[in-house]
Structure 1
Amino acid sequence: MRIATTSRFAMRIATAAIASLLFWSQASATETWPRSFTNIDGSQTEIPAKPKRILSTSVTLTGTLLAIKAPVVASGSAANGQFFAQWEKVAKEKNVDNAWPAGKVDLEAVYATEPDLIIVTASGAGSTRDQLAAFRQVAPTILVDDGALSWQELATELGRATGLEEEAAASIADFDAYVAAARARIEIPAGKANIISFNGAGQSNPIGRPGGPHASLLSALGFDIEAPDPAWHTQAASRDDFVWADYERLVDLKAETTFLLRVDDSKAAAFRNDPVLANLPSVKNGQVFGLGIHSFRIDYYSGKEIVDGIVSRFGN
């Protein structure tokens, strides 16, 4: 089962990398501009020339743009007005302006930025989808859904839009090699592992599914991921990445190791010390670990942080 899961992950990443390389090879032969980009809503955006000044309207897009060396000049930030810490240093080195916090849009800042491409995500707190018409008065604007894509898939899409197919493929290959090197350095504990975004009693506690980005990364490192029962899902729409389960369902998990999103090992104590969860195999084994404070979303930078944490914990 572990081999099959890991193979699917490797095949998906390899397919994305190959598709990106093929596209770049075809494009570089002619350097054809303008390009037509198919938005997530099915509409088309014509991009007249290779972008030199990109406005990323959502903080969740920017890490992947930086990873493919896109010329980002401004970006939306998180609700607290800050960039994600895992790539904030890179953004400062690139002099990326902080355009606005999630939930707010400053159209004057859009004009002042003088972008030649604006990128909008269709979902999440940073979505500015309702401003598409206004943005398109300023510059070509594309609409993607980073919530539905792995960062590798998103990198490939953004590479096509920006003429950075080669850079996108290189970032994916670099990350893949980083994961493979880490896997050779760790000793995986026996049994299965699960992934939980722990919120406690009275709330939904999302549990990672084997096909989700967090589970795929851990599978690539050699972990065998426990699949939560889809019947536990409390949301109206099904999801491929998580089952949103009631707190009471956590006691039915069987994995010998638990990884918690959004926290480090010190903050994992809330889960380890929860009396309702005391009989979970992972709690009894003393194998409850935080995946890191930036692990809520995997991009090129936070993914490497997660890998480094796993090597630090399980390195042989």
Structure 2
Amino acid sequence: MGALAARADQADWPRQTDHDRGVLTLKAAPGRIVSTSPSLTGLLLAIGAPLEASAATTVGRLTDESGFFRQWAEIAHARGVRTLYPNLDFDMEALLIAGPDLVVGSSTGADSLLPYLAEIEAQGLPTLVLDYSKTSWQSLARILGRATGHEAGADTAIAEFDRRAAQAAARLGPSGRAVSIVGYDIAGTYSIGRSESPQADVLRALGLTVTPLPEALRGAVTRVSNMDFISRETLSAAIAEDTVILLGADDSDVAAFMADPLLANLPAVQKGQVYPMGLSSFRVDYYSALEMIATLETALTA
């Protein structure tokens, strides 16, 4: 995509960027970036930033054989991005060997950099820390664009997403259709999507309205992120709409949901209105957002 054409104008440096741990000041545009968060790596690739290496997560159905997320793995390999360390197993020595002039990391999730931040900063490595769980990918892309001098790349990625979303929304028909986002048996957990979340932002761009957990069940929530986590026994009562979109799911997950006896009386099940959001929707970046659009456009117009 055209983001690779973006280049930092050295006349704009030094510059400051606000992030989760304060303000980062860089004297010059970084030329050797490493990412300790696979959830942010896709955005660095999307804006055309000079990414040298990325941490890899545990190999599974969401990744390729190297532990890179499938939605951007091919692009990363084509650009020569190396594995910084596997299985999100933080490795300070590997970080120092990579010799970055900017470290990008997360303040949340299994790849959180916060436990190691003091050690990294003691080595004099400029570090940008972001929370991907509560911030839209577009906002994250703009922050990363600002920090790396690739604002034009961020603008290009956002414009392409907007174009594809508008195209799909036109096919889906009148806006306002209410849906429930459901996390079904994801590593043994069950959850309801919040109306303000990265996933809900993508659905909203398609003209869909996300209905959150009913307030009457707020006391049943066991954990909160971009989803409200509840017990399996509470799930049926927690699904408010006749259309269900399954987070991080494919057709096999839809089949399992439809076959669950605890959910048999749900209107969405009885009407056959349960759809996958796509495996890569678990973490939203530019590439997974485009995959979400394609998956939902196909499912909802079938």
Structure 1 residues 298-307 or 243-252, which shifts more? 243-252
* 1:152-202 deviation digits (Å, cap 9, x = unpaired): 1110111111111121112111111110011112347995311100128x9
Is the Cα contact below 8 Å between 1:254 and 1:281 reproduced in 2? Answer: no
Pairwise CA distance, 1:305: 0.7
Alignment correspondent of 2:240: 254
* 1:55-87 deviation digits (Å, cap 9, x = unpaired): 111111100111111110100111335000000
Query: How many residues are paired up?
Result: 287
Pairwise CA distance, 1:222: 1.9
Is the Cα contact below 8 Å between 1:188 and 1:314 reproduced in 2? Answer: no
Computed over aligned residues only, the root mean square deviation of the Cα atoms, in angstroms, reads 2.5
Is the Cα contact below 8 Å between 2:135 and 2:197 reproduced in 1? Answer: no
Pairwise CA distance, 1:40: 0.8
Does residue 112 of the first structure (1) align with residue 97 of the second (2)?
yes
Paired amino acid for 2:112: S
* 1:83-113 deviation digits (Å, cap 9, x = unpaired): 0000001101110000112441222222221
Q: 1:285 aligns with which of 249, 271, 275?
A: 271
Does residue 125 of the first structure (1) align with residue 105 of the second (2)?
no
- 1:30-179 alignment runs, 5 A limit: 31-42=11-22, 44-80=23-59, 82-136=67-121, 137-179=123-165
d(CA) in 2 for partners of 1:224 and 1:38? 31
d(CA) in 2 for partners of 1:135 and 1:254? 45
Paired amino acid for 2:35: S
d(CA) in 1 for partners of 2:273 and 2:175? 9
d(CA) in 2 for partners of 1:45 and 1:191? 42
Is the Cα contact below 8 Å between 1:195 and 1:207 reproduced in 2? Answer: yes
Pairwise CA distance, 1:203: 5.8
* 1:252-277 deviation digits (Å, cap 9, x = unpaired): 22312111112211221111011111
SS at match of 1:259: strand
SS at match of 2:117: helix
d(CA) in 2 for partners of 1:70 and 1:308? 25
d(CA) in 1 for partners of 2:294 and 2:169? 11
Change (3 A) 1:192 1:37: closer
SS at match of 1:147: coil
Is the Cα contact below 8 Å between 1:187 and 1:314 reproduced in 2? Answer: no
Pairwise CA distance, 1:208: 0.9
Q: What TM-score do the two structures reach when normalised by structure 1?
A: 0.83
Change (3 A) 1:151 1:190: closer
Change (3 A) 1:306 1:75: same
Pairwise CA distance, 1:131: 2.0
Is the Cα contact below 8 Å between 1:122 and 1:143 reproduced in 2? Answer: yes
d(CA) in 2 for partners of 1:191 and 1:35? 43
Paired amino acid for 2:288: S
User: Unaligned 5+ residue runs, structure 2?
Assistant: 1-5, 60-65
Identity %: 38
